Amino acid sequence: MNINFENLELIPQIKDLLIKANSPYLSKKELSHYMKVSESFIKQKLYNGDFKENKHFFKIGDAKIIFDRLEIDGWIRANAKKGEKNGKPISKERKALHEHISQWKKNQSSNRA
């Protein structure tokens, strides 16, 4: 059996990454990566009160905020309306856009004539 010891120095970094990945708490930056949104989106949700203190997030000291991954997962599920955007079904938006484009094309052809 041949063992390669070249990457042994990476073990502490790997350990830290595994601990972080299994943590139930996330920083703003980690949450933005987790949700695949910008940090400004997270800040907006904090400012608007969409994320509730002592439920979705906790304050540590004066400035540090940590987010509860499980509560955020619940918030995402509760706020992700299947097939809808801003309360309107996406298919209706698509149909309205298609009608708008068709009308625009008709106007363009009549302006050319």
- What mean pLDDT do residues 93-107 have? 77
pLDDT at 112: 67
More confident call, 19 vs 74: 74
Of all residues in the chain, the percent with pLDDT exceeding 90 is: 35
Please enumerate in sequence order all residues whose Cβ is within 8 A of that of 82, keeping only pairs 6 or more positions apart, or say none: none
Please enumerate in sequence order all residues whose Cβ is within 8 A of that of 14, keeping only pairs 6 or more positions apart, or say none: none
Q: How far is CA 30 from CA 38, 42, 82, 113, in A?
A: 10, 11, 25, 57
Mean pLDDT of the chain: 81
- What mean pLDDT do residues 5-9 have? 77
